[in-house]
Structure 1
Amino acid sequence: MNKPLVKICGLQSVEVLKSMLQFPVDYIGFVFAKSKRQVTPAQAAELVQVLDLWQQPQSPLSVGVFVNPGIEELRTVLAAVPLDAVQLHGQESAAFCREIKEKFRVQVIKAVSVSDEAEAQPLQQLQSYSETVDALLLDTYDPLYGGGSGRTFAWDKALPYQTWARKQNIPLLVAGGLTPDNVTQLITAYEPDGVDVSSGVESGGVKDIVKIQAFVERVKG
């Protein structure tokens, strides 16, 4: 089995990013949606340049995180920041995802919110995204931001999505409340294709290089 993909999200500091250059990380996420981790296009442009210095076999892909963006917002950001992928955390349609891929030549990661109370979003709704998205990301439902709550969901709810993603031959990433202390349990029990962490590798709301290193080591072994 391949080692799961690792996405570290919500980066804001050039110094922190430079201290991660030796880590085998697959995606670095920059948040453009309203959030305490939000960055401007100018900040993100500076951060993305650091990825070219990566000392692993290949640089991580740069991912911009948005919630229900308009085409013009994406055009403005992508004109300033050469992102590899756009992560969509809202109610973006499959047609919108396809339009973004064709217009901007970026990968599209579609996030789906998972609630412990509600049943898993019917997979029929995902069918329209077949051959449209490059990865599926599951996050804990949050009524305010759509995701980024720092809470886990019941991981067994990921299984039908995992089946769907494998049929599409795309990776399934799991987010929501992951930390260096619980990520091994998730990987061992459910074998997701990748994991996504933000607040779980922070101390006092700031990215903590010791926690990032511990997280990456536990995922990549």
Structure 2
Amino acid sequence: MSKTAVKICGLQSVEVLKSMINLPVDYIGFVFAKSRRQVTSKQAAELSGVLKQWKSEEIPRSVGVFVNPSLKELGEVLQSVELDVVQLHGQESPQFCREVKESFPVSIFKAVSIQAGRPPEEHVNELMLYSGCIDGLLLDTYDPVYGGGSGKTFAWDIIPIYRDWARAQGFPLFVAGGLEPSNLDRLLALYDPDGVDVSSGVESAPGVKDIEKVIAFVERVKL
């Protein structure tokens, strides 16, 4: 089985999540930021409860996706929902990431938006400030409205620079942005990310997860 981790993001339906309980999924993402896939704390608590019924060897880790939250906002969510990971998808500073780690018993994934024309070496130098503050790095395609979640790919040839830096820091690199079963083979074969993150690529309509597409995606990675 592939060592590459699978993260299915933007779950809203208890029924769809229950239909996934035999799949080898590593992370399930709940979006608390403004989005077509946004959930309330009450919805997320119900969804996270489903994870305890998982049939695969390990229960997926629950991930809360936030954009520029306050510590107060995170605290209110975490009082209601057991999250394993907080994914910060905005312009959160290294200091803020450190405060989150010190305040709550969660891992921190920092998402960064990849913009065309920006030298990756320059970007990685800036990311050095996050060393010791985060537990995972996620690359996503820049979207001017939501920051990420565009459903579009970025130029994958820059991945190795970020991947090698993340591994040198001792944490995984996830790739998001426009992933779907049809382009996974190329990504995995050529760029070897530690994890892949999908949302719109396994939907039948905006925000509506399609279990057949989810199965196809997971099988492409894991089998």
If the length of structure 1 is used for normalisation, what is the TM-score?
Answer: 0.98
Could you say what the CA RMSD is over the residues aligned between the two structures, in angstroms? 1.1
Task: Report the secondary structure of 1:46's partner residue.
Answer: helix
Number of equivalenced pairs: 221
- CA distance in 1 between partners of 2:29 and 2:155 (Å): 24
- CA distance in 1 between partners of 2:156 and 2:115 (Å): 11
- CA distance in 1 between partners of 2:84 and 2:28 (Å): 10
Q: Which residue of 1 aligns with 2:65?
A: 65
Superposed counterparts of 1:117-136, under 5 Å: 117-120=117-120, 122-136=123-137
Q: Which residue of 2 aligns with 1:189?
A: 190
Superposed counterparts of 1:12-31, under 5 Å: 12-31=12-31
- CA distance in 1 between partners of 2:181 and 2:145 (Å): 26
Task: Report the secondary structure of 1:90's partner residue.
Answer: coil
Q: Which residue of 1 aligns with 2:37?
A: 37
Q: Which residue of 2 aligns with 1:173?
A: 174
Task: Report the secondary structure of 1:133's partner residue.
Answer: coil
- CA distance in 1 between partners of 2:118 and 2:165 (Å): 19
Q: Which amino acid aligns with 2:209?
A: K
- CA distance in 2 between partners of 1:107 and 1:97 (Å): 10
Q: Which runs of no fewer than 5 residues in structure 1 stay unpaired?
A: none
1:211 matched to 2:194? The reply is no
**TM-superposition CA deviations, 1:93-152 (whole Å, max 9, x none):** 111111111111100000010022333352121111112111100000011111000000
**TM-superposition CA deviations, 1:16-74 (whole Å, max 9, x none):** 00000000000000000000000000000000000000001110000000000011110
Task: Report the secondary structure of 2:45's partner residue.
Answer: helix
* Moved segments of 4+, more than 3 Å: none
Q: Which residue of 2 aligns with 1:4?
A: 4
- CA distance in 2 between partners of 1:152 and 1:82 (Å): 31
Residues 202 and 213 in structure 2, CA contact (< 8 A), matched pair in contact too: yes
- CA distance in 1 between partners of 2:91 and 2:205 (Å): 31
Higher mean alpha-carbon deviation, 103-112 vs 120-129, is at 120-129
- CA distance in 1 between partners of 2:205 and 2:93 (Å): 36
Q: Which amino acid aligns with 2:57?
A: P
Q: Which residue of 2 aligns with 1:78?
A: 78
Residues 2 and 221 in structure 2, CA contact (< 8 A), matched pair in contact too: no
Task: Report the secondary structure of 2:78's partner residue.
Answer: helix
- CA distance in 2 between partners of 1:56 and 1:122 (Å): 38
- CA distance in 2 between partners of 1:76 and 1:95 (Å): 20
Q: Which residue of 1 aligns with 2:165?
A: 164
* Percent of residue pairs bearing the same amino acid type: 63
Residues 2 and 222 in structure 2, CA contact (< 8 A), matched pair in contact too: no
Q: Which residue of 2 aligns with 1:106?
A: 106
Q: Which runs of no fewer than 5 residues in structure 2 stay unpaired?
A: none
- CA distance in 2 between partners of 1:217 and 1:115 (Å): 30
What's the offset of the Cα at 1:2?
A: 5.1
Q: Which amino acid aligns with 2:222?
A: K
Distance of aligned partners of 1:216 and 1:2 in 2 relative to their CA distance in 1, 3 Å threshold: closer
Q: Which amino acid aligns with 1:171?
A: P
Q: Which residue of 2 aligns with 1:155?
A: 156
Task: Report the secondary structure of 1:24's partner residue.
Answer: coil
